Structure 1
Amino acid sequence: MYWRLLIWPVFLLYFARQASCVSVVLHHTNITKLTARAIHLAGYHLHLVEHLSIIDAPKLEHVVVEDLTKMPRLQSLFITQAPKLHHIAALPPLPELRTFIVTTSGLLEVPNLSHVHDSRSTTYLQAIDLEGNYIKRLSSHALRVRADQVSLNYNLLEEVPAHAFKNAVISKLSFRGNSKLRHIDANAFAANLLIRQLDLSSTAITSLPTAGLQKLEILRIEKTPSLKYIPSIYEFQNLQKAYLTHHFHCCAFEFPERHNPTRHKLFETQIALMKAKCAQLKTPATRKRRSLEPIRAIPDEFYSRAETENFTTDSFEEDLSTATTAEENENIEEEYFGDSGSWEDEAVDNVPGNGFGVSAQCGNFSARRRKVECTPQADALNPCEDVMGWSWLRVSVWFVIAAVVVGNVAVLLVLLTNHTEMTVPRFLMCHLAFSDLCTGLYLFMLAVVDLRSYGEFFNYAYDWQYGVGCKIAGFLSVFSGQLSVITLTIVTLERWFAITYAIYLERRISLSAAAKIMICGWLFSGLMAGLPLVGVSDYSSTSICLPVESKDVGDVVYQGSIFMTNALAWVTIVICYVQIYRSLGGGESYGGRGAAAAAERRIANKMALLIGTDLLCWAPVAFFGVTALAGVPLVDVSHGKVLLVFFYPLNACANPFLYAILTKQYRRDFITLVARTGQCNWLVEKYKLAATPPPTAHTNQSAPAQLMPLVDYQRSQSQGKDSEVTL
């Protein structure tokens, strides 16, 4: 009963306190200067004001900061939408101030807040929010404050200078949206060891300093594709979560031994020294007392020195021994006998940081890797592996490259040096060899990068995937694939005209017509290969530089267009060869054309082999590409590389041999080229003897004169047909 009488004064005091709290809100105001008089004229008592808000003040240009001291209970100052407010003078001491917010206004620099709270005071600012202004630089002392969070989001900052936060105590710091922020000095966060959350998302930084970030727990660098290298996990002793932009940066946290081998070796040395020290202390014969102090962790200065000097285990042990005082050594050597008279093992405390949590007991060591929750995690398109992935694939790709390059260079060399006898089939064959050679160059670039970055590709991933090299490799891949399909389609159509309408010479494709068609083919191939360079899909989405990632509708349309173009080309090829076989069917029934039809049937069989090889090449790639395009990928990039090495370049390897090198016409052209050089005469003579037919009535010089025109005609027809159909 009595407690009810006692509680009423408490309630009355609380309500009196609430009644005395004043929140001043000036909305759509036309004031040009914020003064105590302006607030007083608005009908408020200055000594009661705790929250001051200025919203939408288009004419506000000046804040008389001295008048803020007339509001001793002021806890929050909020100004927004004041575009003419360019500067705010240094704030005077305001012991009760907890929040300082100036957003979407015209500030050009950070106000000096270092005198708001006395350095000996325990109070601190809960929030400093300067989002959406035009701040271009940070002064050296403006943010020497104690604050829970500081937001400089969406300003025009270009750099963060050295010691910008010296002697400041800030828990959460955010630079999100400063798209012009490119440089952060190595000592920008130095002397501030309490930053636990740092946000650098949507900036243009290329590197991240580590000084002053030892206590960092949450790191955000999202939508920042310019960040090349992420520091080692050994630099962040307390990091728990990381929200990054690139998959390969998370790989660096997952494999610290490959990301920074030097620091990892230092950690392993530390474990070895701890084990040796404990083994020495546990020797039963000495029965020495061991110190109750934990075995010391290696100081950070040894790590920094090891990165700049040549590291050796002996020098490291020497540094560690000199860092141990004589008093500590005496404690270690001091004798100890327990109450029970038995030897008692000492538990060694956890050694903090350095990427691993070490829990050790003398004679029983265990090092468990400290897990960092990192996104984006490695996925099917970006696994934490080298470009080639497997060792056998790394070796096999060089054999494929050799076959592609040697075969197609040989074809181009022979055909282009004999340009006086250029026919439509030879002209098309040159284009096909060039497109296949581009495929070989693409594989060569991937193989070289794989050798250079073996074992630690994620350290080179940025320079490769976002550099010029990957764009060139991707362009060559798409360009060669499209040009090869188009050329094979034109070759098939030319064969269809030549065989189906053999007696209608005017229906043959002329060289000029073939040139115009191939110009269109080059333009189309260049267009499809160039679209990812201007933002339609992306070559940088994977380490193999193929536009396989579908982020929006434009990417899907682009990839679908490539598939439909290839599908239409293959349907055309199949229909043409069906027609060719039908026109050559029953060649013996053609009477006088039976021998020619048989020869053309052999050519058609050879071309069918060529097209079948190409279908075998593109069928697996097309199948898995369509499933991925439909949102049901059946193979990841790791296994897709097998298709890339063994199926995709199959036609590039086979085409030069099946189209040219294994034909009689190519051998004839090759011998002609050798004869022009004047070398290897024995090879030329051997070919002439093998190629000279036995004398017949047609080739006998004693043949009647009236038969010679017929002989010359047949010979010319034979040579012309051979030059056109010996593909």
Structure 2
Amino acid sequence: MCAVWRLQMFAVLFLILLSRRALGELVTVELYKPNITSLTAHAIHAAGYHLHTVGHLTIRDAPLLEHVKVEDLTKMPNLKSLYITQAPKLQRVAPLPALPELLTFMITTSGLVEVPNLSHVHENRVNTSAAYLQAIDLEGNHIRRIPAHALRVRAAQVSLNYNLIEEVPAHAFKFAEISKLSFRGNMNLKRLDENAFAGNLVLRQLDLSNTAITSLPIKGLEKLEILKIERTPALKYIPSIYDLQSLKEAHLTHHFHCCAFAFPERHDPARHALYELYIKQLKQKCAQDARDASAERRQRSLEPIRKFDTQRLMAQLQGNSEEDESTATTSEDYSPNMFDFDYSGDVSSEYGDEMFHEAVNTTGAEMLECGNFSTKLRVVNCTPLPDALNPCEDVMGWTWLRASVWFVVAAAVVGNLAVLIVLLANRSELTVPRFLMCHLAFSDLCTGIYLFMLAVVDLQSYGAFFNYAYDWQYGTGCKIAGFLSVFSGQLSVFTLTIVTLERWFAITFAIYLERRISLGTAAKIMIGGWLFSIHMAGLPLAGVSDYSSTSICLPVKSSSTSDALYQGSLFLFNAVAWVIIVVCYVGIYRSLGGGGEKYGGRAAAAAAERRIAIKMALLIGTDALCWAPVAFFGVTALAGVPLVDVSHGKVLLVFFYPLNACANPFLYAILTKQYRRDLINLIARSGRCNWLVERYKLAATPPATAHTQQSAPAPLLPLVQYGRSTSQISKENGELL
């Protein structure tokens, strides 16, 4: 009985094995670290596998593999996937023969130098319309070129990531049907021919992240739905929404590129004008159809509209009066496909026939009823979105700000140039105060030049700055402007501090003439100030923070600890300098008597003291107005709680930040008597405007009176003018500077 039962069980198992063989059960063959130089049918058979049962073939870590005998692959008629990885000596694979069941072809992290030819894989398949490859993965090889027709396949996904591709030639994917195509990580990829993707009829998703491309062609991207160009800083220009007619998602590198989709009328005015003209005439046609149609035909769809002549339409838009009326564009000349902005299908995350579905237009006006079509443009989900540092606006966001900046520039440039010209023209009388004032005027002049550069860029890019943002922010101009901004700010603060210290020292130790700061000492101090300012302005050029992070070219980027330390050091230096200036001026005021007590209460001396106090208040006040708002909002931003965005921060930039640059030449030089004397001497040496020289001499030499001859000289205050360190102050004017 037991023997009979065993015999029955053996028969059942035998029948099961026969049925599985009849059903063609497939096995997965995985060869790990095979000691082979060529992948052949014999190597598979020697490993103990029957070729007809091989469904999935995997070769891992094959350091000696150099060759794949592709003709032997036909001996595995049920082969569905071929996966080879870590084969550094495998450089080329001959064109694959017909493999009707093949769905996946992967050679990754190997030595391939060119794309294998897969165009004949599905030639012998019975149902060729349903034949497609689920995935072609050639990631991590050494591919440098894409030969013609190598990828003339139907594939759900093709990955050429992390290779050495430098160029995608014209018609590289002609007659191909590829839904997802990825070039991610090809750092040498710089050029895409304008016809690189032309001929690919079903491309839905394209990934060009981590490459070096500078532009994106539009041919072949009519049905593109998802575009990824992340971490690609060289990309200058993004096509408009009218070129990428089916785009739904865009993952880009620069914030300003997303502005192109949000404001198509500013990004591509000509194409937007075509669209508006098309909609206008479409509405007219609908209205005419509604008037002419009977009641039962009011909801009929529009008849197909013939394709229009773009050149004639552009000529009409440009007001070409020479165009004959007989050739004028009419509503019959428009093609709704030109403005096909939507696509109802979506790219499936799974591989399948739906990857090759046809686009179904749901917003084309010819398929909608008159009166029901929408003129609203399609919304593209774009990242990174414009933010507080990079809004979709011009360099100067408001019209009043655009006009105001020119007045600020004029005051800063003209005032400081006037000071430099007069001081440098009298080099024979060079003193420490004159020397310091030259440095102060030069640093403030740099601030005026910085604002002038921003004003010019704003004027040139008015209305569509995001179209010019790349060339400006990542070009040499923005780097120069940012360098001038930081350099001038630091040098101005440093020089003001030294001027104040020199003045305080001269007044506090007035009787010790040998303790005065010499010109040589002042020169050494200013060399240190120049080196410090150049160093702080040069750090963003070396990668600490970044001048290109915003349109106003200030180092506001804080993405690392070094960035935060750099910005914090700038704020700390300005704060310490301002405290020193305030303390020194308070000390100067107290040393002068603080109200006239040292002058016996004489009214003239008290009046002079009041004038000095007013001038001190002006000096300290302008410094505070210049630095305090910028420092406050800068510190809050550095702490992670910004209270003002760049749009409103530009008000600080125009009205507060350059306040010192505008006020310093007047407070420290132009409004002083010494400067007026130097200016008149310069005019007199030129031999021109003699009437002005004579008028000044008459005004400066009042007639003698009995009172002036008999009265004793008023007490003089040992203050320092910019002209000479040992000069004193007059009681009439309270001259401090």
Cα distance in structure 2, aligned partners of 1:232 and 1:31 = 53
Residues 555-599 of structure 1: CA deviation (Å, up to 9, x unaligned) = 111111111111111122122223223322357555799999986
1:361 Cα deviation after fit: 4.3
What is the match of residue 54 of structure 2? 49
What is the match of residue 543 of structure 2? 535
Letter in 2 for 1:53: T
- 1:563 lines up with 2:574 in the alignment: no
Letter in 2 for 1:39: I
The equivalent position to 1:318 in structure 2, one of 323, 326, 329, is 329
What is the match of residue 463 of structure 2? 455
Could you tell me whether the CA contact under 8 Å between 1:357 and 1:369 is conserved in 2?
Answer: no
Matches within 5 A, 1:67-216: 67-118=72-123, 121=128, 122-216=130-224
Helix, strand or coil at the partner of 1:283: helix
Cα distance in structure 2, aligned partners of 1:241 and 1:28 = 42
- 1:258 lines up with 2:266 in the alignment: yes
Moved more, 16-25 or 306-315: 306-315
Matches within 5 A, 1:383-532: 383-532=391-540
Cα distance in structure 2, aligned partners of 1:42 and 1:351 = 51
1:302 Cα deviation after fit: 4.0
Cα distance in structure 1, aligned partners of 2:637 and 2:326 = 54
What is the match of residue 652 of structure 2? 643
Could you tell me whether the CA contact under 8 Å between 2:431 and 2:724 is conserved in 1?
Answer: no
Letter in 1 for 2:48: G
Cα distance in structure 2, aligned partners of 1:622 and 1:211 = 50
Helix, strand or coil at the partner of 2:539: helix
What is the match of residue 362 of structure 1? 370
- 1:62 lines up with 2:71 in the alignment: no
Could you tell me whether the CA contact under 8 Å between 2:31 and 2:60 is conserved in 1?
Answer: yes
Cα distance in structure 2, aligned partners of 1:286 and 1:29 = 79
Cα distance in structure 2, aligned partners of 1:69 and 1:515 = 85
1:296 Cα deviation after fit: 3.2
Letter in 2 for 1:180: N
Letter in 1 for 2:632: F
What is the match of residue 617 of structure 1? 626
- 1:26 lines up with 2:31 in the alignment: yes
Could you tell me whether the CA contact under 8 Å between 1:665 and 1:723 is conserved in 2?
Answer: no
Letter in 2 for 1:518: M
1:387 Cα deviation after fit: 0.6
Could you tell me whether the CA contact under 8 Å between 2:594 and 2:609 is conserved in 1?
Answer: no
Cα distance in structure 2, aligned partners of 1:654 and 1:392 = 21
Identity of aligned residues (%): 70
Q: Is the alpha carbon distance of 1:471 and 1:323 closer, same or farther for their aligned partners in structure 2, counting shifts above 3 Å?
A: closer
Cα distance in structure 1, aligned partners of 2:385 and 2:435 = 49
What is the match of residue 328 of structure 1? none
1:358 Cα deviation after fit: 9.2
Cα distance in structure 2, aligned partners of 1:176 and 1:133 = 13
Residues 318-359 of structure 1: CA deviation (Å, up to 9, x unaligned) = 3763689xxxxxxxxxxxxxxxxxxxxxxxxx99599x9899
Letter in 1 for 2:443: S
Q: Is the alpha carbon distance of 1:15 and 1:304 closer, same or farther for their aligned partners in structure 2, counting shifts above 3 Å?
A: farther
Helix, strand or coil at the partner of 1:173: strand
The equivalent position to 1:36 in structure 2, one of 35, 41, 52, is 41
Helix, strand or coil at the partner of 1:79: strand
Cα distance in structure 2, aligned partners of 1:131 and 1:694 = 95
Cα distance in structure 2, aligned partners of 1:270 and 1:67 = 59
Could you tell me whether the CA contact under 8 Å between 2:303 and 2:366 is conserved in 1?
Answer: no
Could you tell me whether the CA contact under 8 Å between 1:446 and 1:544 is conserved in 2?
Answer: yes
Q: Is the alpha carbon distance of 1:631 and 1:15 closer, same or farther for their aligned partners in structure 2, counting shifts above 3 Å?
A: farther
Cα distance in structure 2, aligned partners of 1:311 and 1:602 = 64
1:208 Cα deviation after fit: 0.4
Letter in 2 for 1:236: L
Q: Is the alpha carbon distance of 1:353 and 1:526 closer, same or farther for their aligned partners in structure 2, counting shifts above 3 Å?
A: farther
1:291 Cα deviation after fit: 10
Could you tell me whether the CA contact under 8 Å between 1:499 and 1:600 is conserved in 2?
Answer: no
Instruction: With the length of structure 1 as denominator, give the TM-score of the two structures.
Output: 0.87
Could you tell me whether the CA contact under 8 Å between 2:278 and 2:331 is conserved in 1?
Answer: no
1:433 Cα deviation after fit: 0.8
Matches within 5 A, 1:223-234: 223-234=231-242
What is the match of residue 341 of structure 1? none
Moved more, 39-48 or 272-281: 272-281
Q: Is the alpha carbon distance of 1:311 and 1:288 closer, same or farther for their aligned partners in structure 2, counting shifts above 3 Å?
A: farther
Q: Is the alpha carbon distance of 1:428 and 1:720 closer, same or farther for their aligned partners in structure 2, counting shifts above 3 Å?
A: closer
Moved more, 507-516 or 134-143: 507-516
Structural RMSD (CA) = 3.4
1:689 Cα deviation after fit: 1.5
Cα distance in structure 1, aligned partners of 2:724 and 2:261 = 68
Could you tell me whether the CA contact under 8 Å between 2:595 and 2:609 is conserved in 1?
Answer: no
1:191 Cα deviation after fit: 1.1
Moved more, 263-272 or 411-420: 263-272
The equivalent position to 1:680 in structure 2, one of 689, 708, 725, is 689
Q: Is the alpha carbon distance of 1:303 and 1:171 closer, same or farther for their aligned partners in structure 2, counting shifts above 3 Å?
A: farther
1:283 Cα deviation after fit: 2.5
1:206 Cα deviation after fit: 0.6
Could you tell me whether the CA contact under 8 Å between 1:351 and 1:358 is conserved in 2?
Answer: no
Could you tell me whether the CA contact under 8 Å between 1:237 and 1:352 is conserved in 2?
Answer: no
Cα distance in structure 2, aligned partners of 1:681 and 1:323 = 74
1:251 Cα deviation after fit: 0.3
- 1:629 lines up with 2:634 in the alignment: no
Give the number of equivalent residue pairs.
681
Residues 519-565 of structure 1: CA deviation (Å, up to 9, x unaligned) = 11111111111111111111111111111121111111111111111
1:11 Cα deviation after fit: 10
Could you tell me whether the CA contact under 8 Å between 1:105 and 1:133 is conserved in 2?
Answer: yes
Could you tell me whether the CA contact under 8 Å between 1:204 and 1:227 is conserved in 2?
Answer: yes
Could you tell me whether the CA contact under 8 Å between 1:281 and 1:288 is conserved in 2?
Answer: no
Could you tell me whether the CA contact under 8 Å between 1:359 and 1:366 is conserved in 2?
Answer: no
Q: Is the alpha carbon distance of 1:298 and 1:530 closer, same or farther for their aligned partners in structure 2, counting shifts above 3 Å?
A: farther
**Structure 1 regions of 5+ residues with no counterpart?**
1-7, 325-349, 701-715
Letter in 1 for 2:633: F
Could you tell me whether the CA contact under 8 Å between 2:183 and 2:208 is conserved in 1?
Answer: yes
1:242 Cα deviation after fit: 0.3
1:603 Cα deviation after fit: 4.6
1:607 Cα deviation after fit: 3.8
Residues 111-136 of structure 1: CA deviation (Å, up to 9, x unaligned) = 00001112871211000000000000
Cα distance in structure 2, aligned partners of 1:523 and 1:227 = 35
Matches within 5 A, 1:252-401: 252-283=260-291, 292=300, 294-296=302-304, 299=307, 302-303=309-310, 318=329, 321=332, 352=361, 361-363=369-371, 366-401=374-409
Q: Is the alpha carbon distance of 1:307 and 1:91 closer, same or farther for their aligned partners in structure 2, counting shifts above 3 Å?
A: farther
What is the match of residue 353 of structure 2? none
Could you tell me whether the CA contact under 8 Å between 1:414 and 1:669 is conserved in 2?
Answer: yes
Q: Is the alpha carbon distance of 1:62 and 1:74 closer, same or farther for their aligned partners in structure 2, counting shifts above 3 Å?
A: same
Residues 373-393 of structure 1: CA deviation (Å, up to 9, x unaligned) = 000011111111111011111
